[in-house]
């Protein structure tokens, strides 16, 4: 199977009461870990690339790594998506360069400007057979170089979504219902709670329309502990409870973005490896267990959180 867009994936996910995982990729080991788990679980998958990933690994290397995964995993649908595209130019470069899906994130701009930029990207993307994710509302946390302070974050306003979708023609919509980017999503001691009332109001206004959740890592305490035990310092790292994501996946949420959890698994595993083997210096030796742990974490997400195992 060649790279696919998310259109068919989202239709099946919406009607099937599950979500497709969107995992960020930055190097070969991460691509392999994610796609091997998805192949074994027969799950569709979205591999997404941020502006930072393109700056780190180079566009061509990332596209070729993903193309290699498509060859190695012919049984599963794989989409290649630009995460948090910040301008028409970045989106165009990914559309021209082999991506099947792009996000234009103009959510920090005023409503009318967000519509204008998004519509321009949609026109170009649709002319080239590529689908577009847009965003309304502002998540807290760090994404690429942009750090949205908690007091600047705001929930999506359901009364804006119909006008936004009809005027832009976007194919899916990321909304802010309390998730946030990074490993510090909630204050220690507070009870994390997503705003399901907003999600339900949005989906009532946009029937059958795929909704996206960013900032959906759950920050597994097992890996926070591993990082902290072996020389790291991540006090108070807390994520979104997995049961709440599972519930969202049963509603209109068709795409759930997970990146920080994979980073934690990789970093925790490598820290542990070095602490236990201070004499080792072959990157293959420490990347191998890191890749294996990311793979098992992705499998857990597919089966227990997203509900997309067996849906390829």
By annotation, the residues acting in catalysis are 83
User: Residue 84 region, left (φ>0) first, then alpha (ψ -120 to 50), else beta?
Assistant: left
Give the helix ranges, DSSP H, for the chain: 7-16, 28-41, 51-57, 59-72, 88-96, 111-127, 161-168, 196-205, 221-229, 242-250, 260-276, 283-300
Q: Confirm or reject binding of residue 51 to ligand 13P (CB under 6 A).
A: no
In order of 154, 234, 305, 307, the CA distances from 241 in angstroms are: 20, 18, 10, 15
**Per-residue H/E/C for 30-79:** HHHHHHHHHHHHCCCEEEEEEHHHHHHHCHHHHHHHHHHHHHHCCCCCEE
Q: Which residue, 13 or 297, is less far from ligand 13P as judged by CB?
A: 297
Q: Confirm or reject binding of residue 182 to ligand 13P (CB under 6 A).
A: yes
Decide: 103 and 85 in contact? Cβ < 8 Å: yes
| From 39, 51, 214, 301, residue interacting with Zn ion (rule: CB under 5 A) | 214
Residue 84 Cβ, how far from ligand G3H at the closest point, in Å?
A: 6
Residue 144 binding target from ligand G3H, ligand 13P, Zn ion, none, CB below 5 to 8 Å by type: ligand G3H
Bridge partners, residue 238, by sequence = 184
Q: Pattern 38-57, binding to ligand G3H, x per CB under 6 A? A: ------------x-xx----
SS3 of 127, please?
A: helix
Residue 31 Cβ, how far from ligand 13P at the closest point, in Å?
A: 16
Q: Confirm or reject binding of residue 224 to ligand G3H (CB under 6 A).
A: no
Q: Confirm or reject binding of residue 83 to ligand 13P (CB under 6 A).
A: yes
Residues 64-83 touching ligand G3H, rule: CB under 6 A, are 83
Alpha carbons 181 and 129: distance in angstroms, whole number: 29
- Measured in degrees and rounded to the nearest 5, phi and psi for residue 23 equal -110, 135
Q: Confirm or reject binding of residue 107 to ligand G3H (CB under 6 A).
A: no
Residue 24 Cβ, how far from Zn ion at the closest point, in Å?
A: 9
Q: Which residue, 1 or 55, is less far from ligand G3H as judged by CB?
A: 55
Residues 61-80 touching Zn ion, rule: CB under 5 A, are none
Alpha carbons 305 and 243: distance in angstroms, whole number: 7
Alpha carbons 262 and 37: distance in angstroms, whole number: 13
- Measured in degrees and rounded to the nearest 5, phi and psi for residue 32 equal -65, -45
Residue 67 binding target from ligand 13P, ligand G3H, Zn ion, none, CB below 5 to 8 Å by type: none
Alpha carbons 19 and 85: distance in angstroms, whole number: 22
Q: Which residue, 36 or 83, is less far from ligand G3H as judged by CB?
A: 83
SS3 of 103, please?
A: strand
Q: Which residue, 14 or 29, is less far from ligand G3H as judged by CB?
A: 29
How many residues of this chain interact with ligand 13P, rule: CB under 6 A? 13
Residue 53 binding target from ligand G3H, Zn ion, ligand 13P, none, CB below 5 to 8 Å by type: ligand G3H
Contact residues toward ligand G3H (CB under 6 A) are 24, 50, 52-53, 83-84, 143-144, 181, 259
Contact residues toward Zn ion (CB under 5 A) are 214
Contact residues toward ligand 13P (CB under 6 A) are 24, 83-84, 181-182, 214-217, 257-260
């Amino acid at each position: 199977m060649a790279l696919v867009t998310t259109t068919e994936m989202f239709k099946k996910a919406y009607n099937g009461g599950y979500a497709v995982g969107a995992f960020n990729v930055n190097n070969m080991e991460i691509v392999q870990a994610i796609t091997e788990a998805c192949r074994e679980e027969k799950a569709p998958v979205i591999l997404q690339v941020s502006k930072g990933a393109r700056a780190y690994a180079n566009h061509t290397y990332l596209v070729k790594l993903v193309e290699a995964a498509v060859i190695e995993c012919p049984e599963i649908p794989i989409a290649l998506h630009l995460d948090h595209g910040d301008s028409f130019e970045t989106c165009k470069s990914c559309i021209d360069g082999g991506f099947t899906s792009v996000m234009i994130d103009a959510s920090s701009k005023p409503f009318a400007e967000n519509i204008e930029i998004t519509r321009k990207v949609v026109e170009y993307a649709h002319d080239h057979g590529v689908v577009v994710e847009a965003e309304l509302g502002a998540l807290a946390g760090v994404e690429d170089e942009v750090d949205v302070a908690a007091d600047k974050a705001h929930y999506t306003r359901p009364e804006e979504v119909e006008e936004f979708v009809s005027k832009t023609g976007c194919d899916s919509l990321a909304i802010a219902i309390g998730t946030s980017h990074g490993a510090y999503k909630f204050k220690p001691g507070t009870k994390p709670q997503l705003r399901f009332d907003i999600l339900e109001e949005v989906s009532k206004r946009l029937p059958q329309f795929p909704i996206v959740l960013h900032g959906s890592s759950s920050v597994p305490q097992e890996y926070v502990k591993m990082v902290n035990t072996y020389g790291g310092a991540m006090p108070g790292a807390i994520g979104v409870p997995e049961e709440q994501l599972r519930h969202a996946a049963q509603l209109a949420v068709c795409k759930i973005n997970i990146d920080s959890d994979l980073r934690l698994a990789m970093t925790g595993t490598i820290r542990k490896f070095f602490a236990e083997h201070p004499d080792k210096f072959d990157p293959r030796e420490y990347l191998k267990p890191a890749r294996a742990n990311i793979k098992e974490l992705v499998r857990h997400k597919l089966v227990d959180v997203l509900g997309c195992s067996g849906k390829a």
